[in-house]
Amino acid sequence: MDKYVVRQAIKKRENDEIVGYEIMIQSDNDSLYNTSENAVADTIAGFLTQNNDIIFKDKITFLSFPPSLFFRNTPRMFDKKKLVIQIEDNIVVHPLAPSIMQKYRRAGYKFAIDNFQFSPKYFSMLELADYAKVTLADKKDAKGKISLVNLVDMLHGFNKKCIAVGVNSKEEYDLAKEVGADFLEGNYIESATITKSSKMDYLEGNFFQLVVEVTKDEPDVEEIETIISRDASLSYAILKMVNSAYFAMRKRTSSIRQALVTLGIGQLRQWVYLLSMKDTDQGSASEEVLKLSFLRATFSSALVERMHTTEITKSEAYMIGMFSTMDYIIDATLEEILEDIPLPEVVKDALIRHTGIGGGLFQLVLDYEQADWKRLKAHTQELNIPTNMIAQLYLDCVEEVNEIWRGLTSEFERPNEEEEEK
């Protein structure tokens, strides 16, 4: 039985801080949550149990359970401080749902009602819920906007937090903020929180020159050292990176050359995006974009290993993912941004034209992010990627990125450092 799982960020409206993730799971061609088949439920229960440490390790997780799992008390296997049980329509209409929810509530679990609407069946659950999700679909006209405002105001009147879902465009992002939703969820919000640099600033900056140099077939280490050394922010970033817990160097280094030797051109090329991170007020937002690029890169290169092809390398797949978010932080199209960077043609074809084997791979990654399961299945067939391993591969990549990120952003403890300095 094929299954897919993807997580989608949920952010605060007022400051764009990520408060949690919704885990969306799909099995075969039908939603798990529209069926109560025991075979499906057992498959998902096993999958969640095996990946408990990954799924529930980061922030709070919003998760829907098939009715058979919900009524078997499966959610109680997971940490009540990290889990928000999402109630979908197939549980809302069940006569036993209120009493079971009461038991969960007494045990300390929280609830979110999915796709909340003006209807008696939803109001009967509202007193037990902490969050209510409202969809923005078909509510962009004047009448729909009034309906949304009334719904959000009513939820606030009952002291419930409102999550606007389906925020997939700037228009929907603005609408969700206008109607006063507390939290936002959708494909657009990852790119909506960054104040973009102008293309001219980017082209004239040291970071652009660094990107050009490290992506050459034969990078000049001395030129790379010169570029980094003349920019205080780049120097700070690379030294912070190599002195992090990830590299666990016994002695701290303050030498750019030594930092480059430690990193190596391969890792510098892969992680060059980290060096664009600035200490600004929007640090949380830019951090999420950087982590997204890392996840895309890691996921893309892992998928290539399963494709058994020589048309694209792991390194090229990694660059497709890594450079795919540049238009999130630079006020220009990817075509304009990448025209002066000597990337391999397979990478440019993928990012700019979405063509070739790289384009198919990139589109598959985007389909997975957006939980577009139908398109995803078509692309896996085109690329001859086994569908039964994608969910686990994705979660493994999420864990790998989180571990690398924690290592890179954590100070490495050097117990004997003071003595050595003396």
Q: Is residue 422's pLDDT more than 50? A: no
Q: Is residue 280's pLDDT more than 60? A: no
Give the pLDDT mean for 127-140: 87
93: its two tokens: 């209409």
Q: Is residue 265's pLDDT more than 60? A: yes
CB 5 within 8 A of CB 38: no
pLDDT tens-digit readout, 183-237: 999 887 765 555 566 666 655 677 888 888 888 888 899 999 998 888 777 887 8
Distance (Å, whole) CA 258 – CA 255:
5
pLDDT at 154: 92
Determine whether 60 is exposed, middle or buried from the number of CB atoms within 10 Å of its CB (0-12, 13-18, 19+).
Answer: middle
pLDDT at 180: 93
Chain mean pLDDT for the chain: 81
For residue 26, list its beta bridge partners: 4, 31
3-state secondary structure of 135: strand
Distance (Å, whole) CA 81 – CA 213:
47
Q: How confident is the model at residue 420 (pLDDT cuts 50, 70, 90)?
A: very low
Give the rounded percent of residues in the chain with a pLDDT score beyond 90.
23
pLDDT tens-digit readout, 338-390: 887 788 899 999 999 999 999 999 999 999 888 888 888 888 889 988 888 88
Give the pLDDT mean for 134-152: 86
pLDDT at 284: 54
Distance (Å, whole) CA 274 – CA 82:
29
pLDDT at 150: 92
Determine whether 207 is exposed, middle or buried from the number of CB atoms within 10 Å of its CB (0-12, 13-18, 19+).
Answer: buried
